[in-house]
Structure 1
Amino acid sequence: MSGGTFEALRGQLHEAATEFADGPGALEGILRGIVDDVERAVREPLEIFPVCHHSPASAIAMARRLREKQPKVVYLELCEDMAPLLTELRNCRLPVAVQAFATEVEGFPADWSPLSVVAPVTEASAEYQAIAYALDTPGVELVLVDRSSDHVFQWETRQESRPTDEPDSGGDGPDAAPAEAESALHGDAVGVEIGDLRPRFAELEEHLLRHGRVRHWSEWWHQYVELPLGDSDHDTYRQVMLLIGSLFRRLAPGDEPRVRIDEDRERYMWTRMREHLAATGTDPADCLYVCGAFHAASRVEEFGVHGSDTFTIGPPSGTRWRHGLIPSSHAAIEAQFGLAAGSVSIAATEWTKNLRRTRVRPYRLAGQAGTKKTTKAARPAPALPAAAAPAADRLTGFLQRPPVLDPLDEAELLGWSVDIVRAARRAGYLASTADAIAVFETSILLAGMRERAKPTPYDFLDAAVTCIEKDRVPGRRDVRRLVEIMMGGDRVGQVGYDALPPLARDVHDRLEPLGLRLQQRGVQRALLDIAAQPALERCSDVLWMLRRLMPEGAARPIMGERRLGERPIQESWDLALGTHQRALIELGYEGVSIEQVLEQRLRRTAYAPQATAATVLEAVEDAVLHLRSRRLADELGTHALDVLARERSVDGAPEVLRRVRRLLAYYRTAEPVLPPWIESFVKTGYAHYCTLLPTAFTDDDATVRQVAAMLGFLFGMEGLALSLGCDRTQLELALAQSHPADPARTALLWAARSHLGTLSRTALRERCDALLANPLVVPAYPRYLSGFVHALEPVPGLADFVVEAVSNAFARLPDPVLLPWLPTLITTLRASGTELAPLLIREAGRVFPARLAELDSWVPPWRLPQETPRVLPEAAGPAAGSALLAARPATCDALADLLGYDGTWATPEPTATGAALLARHPATATALGELLTIG
């Protein structure tokens, strides 16, 4: 382009390059190339409208241009697979985000799942103006031309999110939790935006911020681009945006992978536009191409209506994508795209001011929640010639024009100062009218130091923090957050009921009997008196499934619990479904009902490669508890049997024991017979743990709790296992082959042998006495006690012996030994026996005296003299029994009455009934006498 409209500008840039770079060279090539890029875009028959994401100036220029041109086709830089969702925007309250979501990936690494792409939409954005115009204007077609969501992940690798451009934006302050909750509305989704206008050359950005006397890029853009372009005409706006896009593009590092992706996107979009023009026969003059200024200044060969058709669009992967709308917020958009905190809120405020100042009527979707539809009819647009002449050079005048210093708007600044002091008082600050005056004056002072006559919202923000937040933050929110909220920073979008997926609508319908406004943000309390209203039990089922599927806090039970085999009576819940609307919507991408989603997740968890027997049993329990599905429980239980047989570690033994006990108790009361899978599980588990037991006793990686859980499974399930064909000899051999060296495991082995009868209680007591008598072993005695405490899991009958062992230690050890040893005992019991401590406490309460006065005369039961069993002589025979019964006739009479025998005693002193019975049945009397004598 040797000649043309911008030849004068080329000459001036040539002279500037010669003066500042000691002759034309690389700088001249860059400057002249920028002019070439602008002229190339301006001369394109299909009008290109460059925009910046969430820019009020772009939105105003877009609304003005749409009313002037009235295009018949609007090409929009947005993922082409999101087009069907745009009509649902009218059922939402902005800001919201259009989302593409995939849980089951095909063609991508499995660790990328779930895949998510979001495109946020706010009212103060050029893309929303184009969408509202196209959807509400008859005869206008909206065509999305950017790469699909699938191609987003085909072309890009997952990278760390970009850091925010203001590190000290208050993310670590007292209000960090609410701000983080709003900024997490998009999750870890990949963001798609129109107009990512930010220098990719770090030195250039640093230079602009330093000489512009601003702290971050958002403030620089607001001061030097937004404000000057707010009142500019269409040609000036368009050429300036093209100039900025070309500048940033040419100064970007050439070896950056992102450059290749940007060029492929431009090839993709121009290929799609040419395909549409060829298929419909639309005149390019009747079209408008809305894209980011960075892509408008493109140099690819496919650029333009007459560009080459050498780009081939690859096929999508096999991933199944689901689409929907999710709520968004200003904080979420700032976090997604690395904008300064509060910048989107300030843009929304600037958008409202621009509308009042310019009197431009924006486009809004009919029925849009949270907005007012303008009822006044739009003026007819002036007719455009068939081939409009190229626009005149507006860049030269714009670049030579000195900056316009806006006069101070005292009313606006005063209103801000009063509002922030009022908000600070509500937040607990000791703010007064003097602080409002200080904020007002400091804002003017900061603006003057930064060479601007009118304070910007960023100047006001710095002044408010300086004057009000003096030494501490009294409440949850700091002043920076209060300013953001005052300017609309707490605005969170909402997806309307009609735009929700079927699953979310089904949840709302099934919870309707609760009488709550589930769409409303915040926590609401739900009271369910199921005994009085049995129909509320269905609501309870839904709430428990939501608690299982959704993030913490979405559905939180306050009163009531759900256990196997129990029916609910009364429940109380805290619900925040409106706050967690995004999570509920994403559930709708996985199925049409929460039961289907829960079943899919249980299967996915149970059949995962890293699944253990404990996790599969948990899935079985959830299937019974929430879905009441015998079919699914049997299927997952059979799979748990296979997983247990493949395990070679005992890490999950405690969890396996706990869940098998619970499931056995449930099936024994709820089913006539046990399911076959649980019988097989007990049989296989008995043999499996017997095999692993000798190794577990000596394995350093296995804990005492895990070994105790194995013994608990073997002893607790022994009766059922033996009835199913297991052999107890296998357990005896496993214990005989176990030779632990650790004191805790040694005590556990002693307890197991005591349970089997191979080690008597007397021998066990003698071993503990020997440990206390050995000074070298006394420091390790707490570890032996830890083993005995864990032994209460498989052998609960040892509770009295453990109490005896602890008491003997306190009684026998001297103070110099006991006092240093006592903290170790307490910490050991607290760390290792918290679940079993109540059993010890109950046993100690039974053994020790209840009153202090009885303590002096109390003797421990294990120190009481043991009675020697009396053996009845064989020669005594029936005579001994007769003598015993004659001495206690009442006992014999009671026994005779119980047997239904009526008789009399032979002697006159006692009654005759017992004597007659004794004479007839002497063997019975003899046996009874032996029993009473031995006892």
Structure 2
Amino acid sequence: MSAVREGAAFEALRTQLREAATSLADGPEALEGILLGIVDDVDRAVREPLEIFPVCHHSPASAIAMARRLREKRPKVVYLELCEDMAPLLSELRNCRLPVAVQAFASEVDGFPAGWAPLSVVAPITEASAEYQAIAYALDTPGVELVLVDRSSDHVFQWQATGTESAESEDPPGPGAEEEAGLHGDAVGVEIGDLRPRFAELEEHLLRHGRVRHWSEWWHQYVELPLGDSDHDTYRQVMLLIGSLFRRLAPGKEDRVRVDEDRERYMWTRMREHLAASGTDPGDCLYVCGAFHAASRVAEFGVDGADTFEISPPSASVWQHGLIPSSHAAIEAQFGLAAGSVSIAATQWAKNLKRTRVQPFRLVGQAGAKKAAAKPAKTEVPAVPGIADALSDKLSGFLRRAPVLDPLDEAELLGWSVEIVRAARRNGYLASTADAVAVFETSILLAGMRDRARPTPYDFQDAAITCIEKDKVPGRRDVRRIVEIMMGGDRIGQVGYDALPPLARDVHDRLAPLNLKLQQRGVQRALLDMAANPELGRCSDVLWMLRHLLPWGAARAIMGERRLGEQPIQESWDLALGTHQRALIELGYEGVSIEQVLEQRLRRRAYDPQATAAAVLEAVEDATLYLRSRRLADELGTRALEVLATERGVDGAPEVLRRVRRLLAYYRTSEPVLPPWIESFVKTGYAHYCTLLPTAFTDEDATVRQVAATLGFLFGMESLALSLGCDRTQLELAFAQSHPREPAKLALLWAAQVQLGQLSRARLRSRCDELLGNPLVVPAYPRYLSGFLHALEPVPQLADFVVEAVSNAFARLPDPVLLPWLPTLIGTLRSDGADLAPLLIREAGRVFPGRLAALDAWVPPWRESPDAGAAPRSARADGKGAGTGAGAALLAAYPRTCDAVADLLGYEGTWERAVPVPSGAVLTARHPDTAVALEVLLAGP
């Protein structure tokens, strides 16, 4: 440090800034303090013995400068701003195709609010980033140590409780990028090298005077391109200057400032601890961090900083770590970058490598890397600039220098123009050669209007939208998205097989008999013929579990279904495991096999405090279907019994009834005896719903469908419940206490009373006739019919009566009442009557004539004949009425049988002895077919 007097290197710059502050401001204090403070921050960072290398997030200029500096200095220790608990994963990057993200995941939290679970932290890495260059250098160079010094993933959420760190997107992702933008999910992003103004007025000023649309374009034009060819000292000082400027002009939000400063204290504390433990010379180290944190003013800054920061202990949450696929669109959405900016940065990175001929660092064996990248780096160490050169003022010359106007590269721009027209034609645009010429000329015009001699990709994008898109988008991609694809597209990374967690590798191994490339993105069709290849049954089991665990589309069944008690024969699947690789990897954080993960999730669902009996029964069914585990099914069934006993309503009755019926049918056909838990469930449910029935009939919140399902459980499970010791008196008392007022529920009660024998069909029919005959009740009669329709659930024997009631309604209700009710009838049958409609259709097909010609002469069976004493028309038409007398004699000989038949058909009458023929003959005359059938039945063989 003696070579250059402290502070003398930037004295000339300080003098110029002091004069500028005096002339531009009313008073020099405020502006002068900011401008001179920026120079002090740069001077302080440059003089630090441990070299600080400021970077910007996914900046090609930073990556080029990093690769060049690493080959010049050859540091022995590289300190990197990244969560310290992610260090063991970095060596797995060589098994992946970039971009990927390093992830820390905690499914069960301890010490954080339960609503935060699951916790997830991601740090995306691309090849065109300074961070990847440092990682590749450290991992592939013998004797070099890579130390991650940023707060752990656990501390990210500890500090997030009071500090907000989310980045707002400046531009939404383009069409078609929604899927890729969600690769990181709702994870918290670690903003490595984040560099963007937090002062909205400053960003607006820069965009307006820079004649650009968004921040990514401003950075590309005024920082990325000028620094692409600069030397190391100039790059370093300019980045420190920008970081200090943004830091000093940032709004003074206490939470955000506290988090930023705590991160800097944390990192410097970790670096001093490592230096003290290893004895490494600070001059042999390199500290890679964001430019925003490089210009830090905390007391802990530097090798000689204060040791006053205490790192809090981690919480008791168990963290899992792994690699997940990332993409350019996901990075843009995660960190608030403009759509397409990361793709443009990747293209700029490739151009910088050709122009500067800098040899980048790539991990040996990196998937997707060129063979040349695997060559070992040269061992000779170039001369490192001296301290005096490093402290020389490069900012003054850089700030005074006029912007370099790159000459127009006509060949490049012409290639872009031809390619965009070709791509537009493929996407349905009526583009021609004239449009290519127009895009070429408009790009030059826009660049000139923005004081640029060479059009940037953003100028070209605006020109293409203006000249090609015009007024509409014919396909699913607009021109903006087409340009992004043409400039490099949304590259999507992939985690290699060796870097996958054990669960994901096990899934790939078990699905190997399908002979599919499951690592590839996109949809692949799998055909499983278990009849010819029984071993594919195991693949089917895996696919059904994946369908249950992964998001929709990862494993989608096209043909075949999994039902209780059925064995699959053939199945067809659409698989997209490569597209949903992130979801599959995150399953590996929850267990070592998909069976274990599924069992944990079923238990979590069943033992949730908000779980319902229907939800627990669904878990029982899933455990039986997918895991074939009687032990787990019994455990969850016992839990369902506990939950049912605590419910105070009948909201879940329809689902409970449906699942209990299905489980009972399965156990009765597959096992010799019923499991004890389901017997207890039926017994408890019978008493439980008997208790809730009177309240459900009068509760306005209980729907007719729910009350009907309650009755369906009571009537359907009654025989089993009574055999297990239940008392039918409970049900009779429940009906005695039920007094509904709503028409639909009242009709439902009448139907249930018919089932119990408390109400005859004749009386029910007369009640319906009375309702139709009362003008005051006619408008509400459709609501009674809705109740009768729902009554088919507990009393399916009433299907013929429901057909009769609906037919009478269509015949007698006036149009102003009937027509508004029809949509309600259709909606009821569609939503609630999917299982009831077949009963009505089958009964209607039995009652109504099969031909249209017979409809005019058809008389409904529930209507009496106009002439009760006359012979029926069918007898007179066939000329076979002579048999009537024999039938009458038979009925007279068996009066009890005649009375039973009369009660069954709903007729009430008495025997008249004054007539020579018993009065049962009148009934026989009305129903000759029945009388003949009875005669044949009683005559015997």
TM-score by length of 1: 0.91
Mean Cα displacement is larger for which, 657-666 or 471-480? 471-480
Deviations 1:719-763 (A, max 9, x none): 100000011111111112111111111111111111001011111
Give the letter for the 1:351 counterpart: W
Match in the other structure for 2:99: 95
Give the letter for the 2:721 counterpart: A
- Alpha carbons 2:503, 2:593 under 8 Å: kept: yes
- Alpha carbons 2:173, 2:181 under 8 Å: kept: no
- Alpha carbons 1:101, 1:589 under 8 Å: kept: yes
Deviations 1:403-453 (A, max 9, x none): 111111111111111111111111111111111111111111111111111
Q: What displacement does 1:5 show?
A: 0.8
Match in the other structure for 1:297: 295
Give the letter for the 2:578 counterpart: G
Please give the residue correspondences for 1:638-677 in structure 2 after superposition, counting only pairs within 5 Å. Answer: 638-677=638-677
Match in the other structure for 2:899: none
Give the Cα separation in 1 of the matches to 2:375 and 2:497. 29
Give the letter for the 1:165 counterpart: E
Match in the other structure for 1:222: 220
Give the Cα separation in 2 of the matches to 1:429 and 1:313. 59
Match in the other structure for 1:539: 539
Secondary structure, counterpart of 1:673 in structure 2: coil
Q: What displacement does 1:89 show?
A: 0.2
The alpha-carbon distance between structure 1 residues 626 and 869, as it changes in their structure 2 partners (threshold 3 A), is farther
Q: What displacement does 1:838 show?
A: 2.4
Give the letter for the 1:190 counterpart: V
Match in the other structure for 1:801: 801
Give the Cα separation in 1 of the matches to 2:385 and 2:228. 27
Secondary structure, counterpart of 1:319 in structure 2: coil
The alpha-carbon distance between structure 1 residues 80 and 377, as it changes in their structure 2 partners (threshold 3 A), is closer
Deviations 1:307-355 (A, max 9, x none): 1110011100000000000000000000000100011011001001100
Match in the other structure for 2:909: none
The alpha-carbon distance between structure 1 residues 862 and 382, as it changes in their structure 2 partners (threshold 3 A), is same
Give the Cα separation in 2 of the matches to 1:462 and 1:348. 20
Deviations 1:574-602 (A, max 9, x none): 00000000000000000000000000000
- Given the alignment, which residue of 155, 158, 179 partners 1:154? 158
Match in the other structure for 1:577: 577
Match in the other structure for 2:938: 932
Secondary structure, counterpart of 1:525 in structure 2: strand
Deviations 1:244-263 (A, max 9, x none): 00001111122341111010
Give the Cα separation in 2 of the matches to 1:790 and 1:875. 39
2:159 matched to 1:165? no
Please give the residue correspondences for 1:681-760 in structure 2 after superposition, counting only pairs within 5 Å. Answer: 681-760=681-760
Match in the other structure for 1:213: 211
Give the Cα separation in 1 of the matches to 2:894 and 2:294. 119
Give the Cα separation in 2 of the matches to 1:513 and 1:101. 31
The alpha-carbon distance between structure 1 residues 841 and 876, as it changes in their structure 2 partners (threshold 3 A), is closer
The alpha-carbon distance between structure 1 residues 391 and 727, as it changes in their structure 2 partners (threshold 3 A), is same
Q: What displacement does 1:854 show?
A: 1.4
The alpha-carbon distance between structure 1 residues 591 and 805, as it changes in their structure 2 partners (threshold 3 A), is same
Secondary structure, counterpart of 1:75 in structure 2: strand
Deviations 1:215-249 (A, max 9, x none): 11111111110011000000000000000000011
Give the letter for the 1:289 counterpart: Y
Give the letter for the 1:291 counterpart: C
Please give the residue correspondences for 1:707-856 in structure 2 after superposition, counting only pairs within 5 Å. Answer: 707-815=707-815, 818-819=818-819, 822-823=822-823, 825-827=825-827, 829-830=829-830, 832-856=832-856
Secondary structure, counterpart of 1:638 in structure 2: helix
- Alpha carbons 1:285, 1:386 under 8 Å: kept: no
Secondary structure, counterpart of 1:578 in structure 2: coil
2:31 matched to 1:27? yes
Give the letter for the 1:721 counterpart: A
Give the Cα separation in 1 of the matches to 2:155 and 2:143. 30
Match in the other structure for 2:902: none
Secondary structure, counterpart of 2:28 in structure 1: coil
2:597 matched to 1:565? no
Deviations 1:340-390 (A, max 9, x none): 001101100100110010110100011111111425554422244896764
- Alpha carbons 2:264, 2:301 under 8 Å: kept: yes
- Alpha carbons 2:7, 2:43 under 8 Å: kept: no
Please give the residue correspondences for 1:881-900 in structure 2 after superposition, counting only pairs within 5 Å. Answer: none
Match in the other structure for 2:919: none
The alpha-carbon distance between structure 1 residues 757 and 245, as it changes in their structure 2 partners (threshold 3 A), is same
- Given the alignment, which residue of 104, 107, 125 partners 2:129? 125
Give the Cα separation in 1 of the matches to 2:431 and 2:33. 56
Mean Cα displacement is larger for which, 466-475 or 638-647? 466-475
Match in the other structure for 1:116: 120
Match in the other structure for 1:899: none
The alpha-carbon distance between structure 1 residues 514 and 830, as it changes in their structure 2 partners (threshold 3 A), is closer
Secondary structure, counterpart of 2:32 in structure 1: helix
Gaps of 5+ in 2: 869-883, 897-933
* Alignment: residue pair count: 878
Give the letter for the 2:623 counterpart: A
- Alpha carbons 1:872, 1:930 under 8 Å: kept: no
Mean Cα displacement is larger for which, 851-860 or 243-252? 851-860
- Alpha carbons 2:559, 2:572 under 8 Å: kept: yes
Secondary structure, counterpart of 1:324 in structure 2: strand
Q: What displacement does 1:831 show?
A: 5.2
Give the Cα separation in 2 of the matches to 1:521 and 1:367. 21
Q: What displacement does 1:789 show?
A: 0.7
Match in the other structure for 1:107: 111
Secondary structure, counterpart of 1:25 in structure 2: helix
Match in the other structure for 1:514: 514
TM-score by length of 2: 0.91
Identity rate of aligned residues, in percent? 83
Gaps of 5+ in 1: 878-927
2:863 matched to 1:863? yes
Match in the other structure for 2:438: 438
Mean Cα displacement is larger for which, 245-254 or 104-113? 245-254
- Alpha carbons 1:364, 1:373 under 8 Å: kept: no
Match in the other structure for 2:191: 193
- Alpha carbons 1:285, 1:387 under 8 Å: kept: no
The alpha-carbon distance between structure 1 residues 388 and 83, as it changes in their structure 2 partners (threshold 3 A), is farther
Match in the other structure for 1:77: 81
Q: What displacement does 1:858 show?
A: 1.5
The alpha-carbon distance between structure 1 residues 574 and 676, as it changes in their structure 2 partners (threshold 3 A), is same
Give the letter for the 1:187 counterpart: G
Match in the other structure for 2:307: 309
- Given the alignment, which residue of 267, 278, 281 partners 2:279? 281
Give the letter for the 1:70 counterpart: R
Deviations 1:594-624 (A, max 9, x none): 0000000000000001000000000000000
Q: What displacement does 1:817 show?
A: 5.4
Give the Cα separation in 2 of the matches to 1:203 and 1:448. 26
2:52 matched to 1:48? yes
Secondary structure, counterpart of 1:571 in structure 2: strand
What value does the CA root-mean-square deviation take over the aligned residues? Answer: 2.1
Q: What displacement does 1:66 show?
A: 0.3
- Alpha carbons 1:366, 1:373 under 8 Å: kept: no
Deviations 1:151-189 (A, max 9, x none): 0000013859543213xx564xxx3xx311000000000
Secondary structure, counterpart of 1:579 in structure 2: coil
2:378 matched to 1:353? no
- Alpha carbons 1:783, 1:828 under 8 Å: kept: no
Mean Cα displacement is larger for which, 819-828 or 47-56? 819-828
- Alpha carbons 1:870, 1:934 under 8 Å: kept: no
Give the Cα separation in 1 of the matches to 2:166 and 2:62. 26
Give the Cα separation in 1 of the matches to 2:766 and 2:627. 54
Secondary structure, counterpart of 1:5 in structure 2: helix
Give the letter for the 1:262 counterpart: D
The alpha-carbon distance between structure 1 residues 362 and 170, as it changes in their structure 2 partners (threshold 3 A), is closer
The alpha-carbon distance between structure 1 residues 388 and 600, as it changes in their structure 2 partners (threshold 3 A), is farther
Secondary structure, counterpart of 2:9 in structure 1: coil
- Alpha carbons 1:786, 1:833 under 8 Å: kept: no
- Alpha carbons 2:890, 2:935 under 8 Å: kept: no
Mean Cα displacement is larger for which, 816-825 or 697-706? 816-825
- Alpha carbons 1:435, 1:468 under 8 Å: kept: yes
Deviations 1:604-653 (A, max 9, x none): 00000100000000000000000000000000000100000001011111
Give the Cα separation in 2 of the matches to 1:870 and 1:639. 64
